[in-house]
Amino acid sequence: MKLLNSVLIMFSLLLPITSLAESDPTAPLGFTPSSQPAKKKVYRLPKLDAILCASDGSCSAVMNGKSVGKGQSINGYVVSQINEERVTLSRGGKRWALTVFNEQVVQ
């Protein structure tokens, strides 16, 4: 009988501990924790279709089927430079150089 009382007392002491672990008393009202971690946004590098250069040396690029110029952004990347050989993109302090074959450069 004494052993049974001891087991019941220990069980009743452990029960409130498990219920406290299920909720955070410091969380804001109405807050429900998410079971999935936040997904990191993926920025896909755009596809360089062509580089178009005028006779005065100014160039633009066709990326993902859209015409873009220096300073414009596409897919989260900023076009930082365009010349006859390559298009340079930047994002978050990093740079990418995209090139096309010579037959895709239109002058």
Taking CA atoms, 19 is separated from 12, 31, 33, in Å, by 12, 17, 16
Query: What's the pLDDT at 14?
Result: 62
Query: What's the pLDDT at 43?
Result: 81
Partners of 97 in the beta sheet? 88
Query: What's the pLDDT at 46?
Result: 93
Eight-state DSSP code of residue 37: P
* DSSP 3-state of 19: helix
Query: What's the pLDDT at 39?
Result: 77
Query: What's the pLDDT at 52?
Result: 92
pLDDT tens across the length of the chain (107 residues): 676 667 667 666 665 554 545 667 787 887 777 766 677 778 889 999 999 999 998 999 999 999 999 999 999 999 999 998 999 999 999 999 999 875 555 55
